[in-house]
Structure 1
Amino acid sequence: MRRALALTAATAVATLPLALAGPATAAESDDASVVVVHAVPDLTVDVYGSADEEYTADEALLTDFEPGTVTDPVSLPGGTYNLAVFPAGDDPSGDPAIEATGVEVPGGANISVAAHLDEGGTPTLTPFVNDVEPTAAGEGRLVVRHTAAAPAVDVLAGGDPVFTGLTNPNEEQADLPAGTVSAAVALEGTTDPVIGPADVDVAEGAATIVYAWGSAEDENLALAVQTIDGLHSSPSGVPSGTAALPADTTPVLLGGIALLAAVAALGMGARARSRA
């Protein structure tokens, strides 16, 4: 089973694209800015990274990494990494549940890597390249990402659909006047919320990224929020009030990175072991 899981991780590493399309590269930096979003329910892990294949406790990238957690950005120099993933608390001197060696990390990228369930409930990995282009003065960016085991959804504001037909693992975005959006998620074509409503703060000069995650069948759908600051185009005041979502939106181009492919692969392996 372990060899099969390692093959799964290696395959994920080999097949993830490294195209960093669109306006998503970090400005004039050799380091990659990486955020990891854990959206696989009921799975807590430790993630190790090293230039060597021997892992020690002080080389943990993430420990007790729980579902619903969004990490702080990690700045990693471009280069080659070896990764190992263990069930939380396991001795890293033993055999990892999943490992991936020779992972190439491109410099200068701003990326969110979401380990989540696909529409059918299978753990998977989706890398999102973050749009870090400046926002207009007084505006912020709202991004909604569908990473839940659920069919297509509509995103509602004030009870009205504003993003419609959003499918896993896609996203929609809009630049809005800074303020508060009362948002909810409903199955496509309906207005009965399956998540929310919840107030989402759209900050001036920042990207607020909302992940819908969990499983509709297991009735554990939830939201996770990531914020990227520093998108100011010029100094300005922050207007108060409630932002209204425009009807026209443009999805962010998806890119890829192999870093932490093992996180999603572990989710697949853990479920396979639990069913064995």
Structure 2
Amino acid sequence: MTYRIPTVVAASAGACALVLGVSAPALAAAPAQDGDQAMVSVFHGVPGLTVDVYANGEELLGDFEPGTVTEPQALDAGTYDIKVFEAGQGPDGTPAVEKKIEVPAGANATVAAHLSADGKPRLTAFVNDVSAVDAGKSRLTVRHVAAAPAVDVRAGGQPAFTGLENPKEDTTTVDAGTVSADVVLAGTDTVAIGPADVDLKEGTSNVVYAWGSAEDKNLALKVQTFSGMESAPNAVNAGRAGVAVAPNSSEGWQAWVAAAGVVTVTGVLVGRRFASRRA
């Protein structure tokens, strides 16, 4: 079964992905009605870049490091004034990026700041499937967000997903349990990441991010897990941000992505820092 979301946003928006992994209590948007919220988390998959993120003048994320996925947070629908600084440069300095962000109700999503297949920073928005799974089952999603060619993902040595390209995803439902997963170059046995054990608990939705850069030899996996799929199929589940695996070993959301200017910013910070690092 394949679950694809055509929601890739321009590469220049990389820094904005860091904006949305915020702590809801710190935000000061216009009041929202009951149920007028979104669940939003962020995965930071741009190697070598650490930032501080401010919203409405309050620091939300300090020293936000690559390889981190934030806990899902309930955000009131509204508009937020977001400023992104190079770590340690805010809040009185000049922000590298400033943008007003509109957050709509009804979203359950992860925004990934990552590298394209050819190594350019980009922003991709993914809808998280938190619908129910059958008893004894678990949902497994793999998202290719690494600077690397197409890959196959194997579970227990057998192909689970084949020909997966950046920045696409693929999803299936599997028996709950621990699986040994690795990532190989498409159509080969050349291991790019892993193997590593992934614990797929019953009633969970597990998202595995393959991120980093093949050229820089820092490819890694990150797992984000949402729980409660078996008991509350119609609820919006906060879940939990999963644990990292060592390197080398919905309509509301669609409206958000479609809205002009919602997640498009000038990626000054990401582009400048990434370019200088590679130079």
Specify if TM > 0.5.
yes
- The answer for the alignment partner of 1:47 in structure 2 is 53
State the match for 1:84 in structure 2: 83
Task: Show CA shifts across 1:64-104 (max 9, x none).
Answer: 10010011112111111111111111131111011112x21
Match of 1:271 in 2: 274
Code of the aligned partner of 1:220: N
Q: What SS does the aligned partner of 1:168 have?
A: coil
For 1:35, the equivalent position in structure 2 comes to: 41
SS of 2:91 mapped into structure 1: coil
State the partner residue of 1:23: none
| SS of residue matched to 2:274 | helix
Q: How does 1:1-276 map to 2 (within 5 A)?
A: 29-50=35-56, 55=57, 59-101=58-100, 103-233=101-231, 255=254, 257=257, 266-272=269-275
Q: Residue 46 of structure 1 contacts residue 88 of structure 1 at CA under 8 Å; is this kept in 2?
A: yes
RMSD over aligned Cα atoms? 2.6
1:173-229 per-residue CA deviation (whole Å, 9 max, x = no partner) reads 111111011110001011121100111011111111100000011111000111111
Judge conservation of contact 1:85–1:263 (CA < 8 Å) in 2. Answer: no
Q: Note if contact 1:116-1:264 (Cα within 8 Å) is conserved in structure 2.
A: no
Structure 1 Cα separation of the partners of residues 134 and 190 of structure 2: 33
Query: Any idea what SS the aligned residue of 2:68 has?
Result: coil
Contact 2:49 2:274 in 1 (8 A): no
SS in 1 for 2:270: helix
> Deviation at 1:159?
2.0
Equivalent residue number for residue 5 of structure 1:
none
SS at match of 2:69: coil
Contact 2:40 2:109 in 1 (8 A): yes
Q: Structure 1: which 5+ residue stretches go unaligned?
A: 1-7, 14-27, 236-253
Q: Compute the TM-score of the two structures, normalised by the length of structure 2.
A: 0.75
Instruction: Flag the 1:265–1:141 CA change in 2: closer, same or farther, 3 A.
Output: farther
User: Closer, same or farther in 2 for the Cα pair 1:46/1:105, shift >3 Å?
Assistant: same
**Can you list the C-alpha shifts for 1:42-82, whole angstroms capped at 9, x where unaligned?**
000111111xxxx3xxx112111001001111211111111
Identity in percent: 56
CA distance in 2, matches of 1:275, 1:186: 25
Answer yes or no: is the 8 Å Cα contact 2:13–2:123 preserved in 1.
no
TM-score, normalised relative to structure 1: 0.76
- Alignment partners' CA distance in 2, 1:267 and 1:225: 23
Once the 2 structures are TM-superposed, how far is the Cα of residue 9 of structure 1 from its aligned partner? Answer: 5.0
AA of the residue aligned to 2:44 = H
Give ranges in structure 2 of 5+ residues lacking alignment: 1-11, 18-33, 234-252
Higher alpha-carbon Rg = 1
**Pairs aligned (count):** 228
How far apart, in 1, do the equivalents of 2:52 and 2:232 lie? 40
Counterpart of 2:178 in 1: which secondary structure? Answer: strand
Distance 2:266 2:199 in 1: 29
